Structure 1
C-alpha cells in the first residue's frame, strides 16, 4: 500500500459510523409519553361522559322530554337523542363551574332587635 493510499484510507476511516452506539435506545421517554397519552385519553373520555350527563340533566330540569303517555314521567328514548343546549361546550362549561347541586332556595334570615 502506498503512502497516498494510506492517507486516503485514514481520511475515510474517520467518516465511518460508530457501531457501538448504533442500536442503543432509551425507554424512559416512551413510558412518559405513553402515560401522558393515556391520561389525556382518560380526560377526554371523562369530558365526553360529563357532557352527556349534563345534557340529560338539563333536559330533565327544563322538561324537554316529557312522556306523551304518562303525565309527569320522562321519555327515556328522548333523553338519548335530546340536545338541550346549542353546543357541547356549554354543557362542559356549566358542569365544570357548578360542582355542587343546586338546592331549594334558603329562607331569608329574620333579625330581631
Structure 2
C-alpha cells in the first residue's frame, strides 16, 4: 500500500508542476519519501502517509513528533551533502480512503 500511495502522491505533485529530485532518500535514522523542486526553485521534502480511513486522526495526524524528527534528520543530512541555495519546506501528502490531500508547510525544522 505504501508504494502505491507514493506513486499516487508523486503523480499528483508532478501534475502540480513539481520536479523530482530524489525518491526514498534514506539515512541511518531517517527517510524522506519524495524530494522535489517547485517551479520557484524551492526544495520540498514530502512525507506520504496513507490510511484506509480518518479514524484515529487520519493520515495527516500520523506524522507525529517522532516521525517529524526522522524526516528532519534525513533532510539535514541531504542539505549537508547537497546545499540548497533556495528555501526549503516540509509538506505531507495524506491519502485517506482514496482521497488525496496535499498539506503544504505541514511543519518546520523547529518541530523536530
Taking structure 2 as the reference length, the TM-score comes to: 0.24
**Higher Cα Rg, which structure:** 1
Identify which of structures 1 and 2 has the higher relative contact order when contacts are C-alpha pairs closer than 8 Å and 6+ apart. 2
More strand by share: 2
More helix by share: 1
Taking structure 1 as the reference length, the TM-score comes to: 0.24
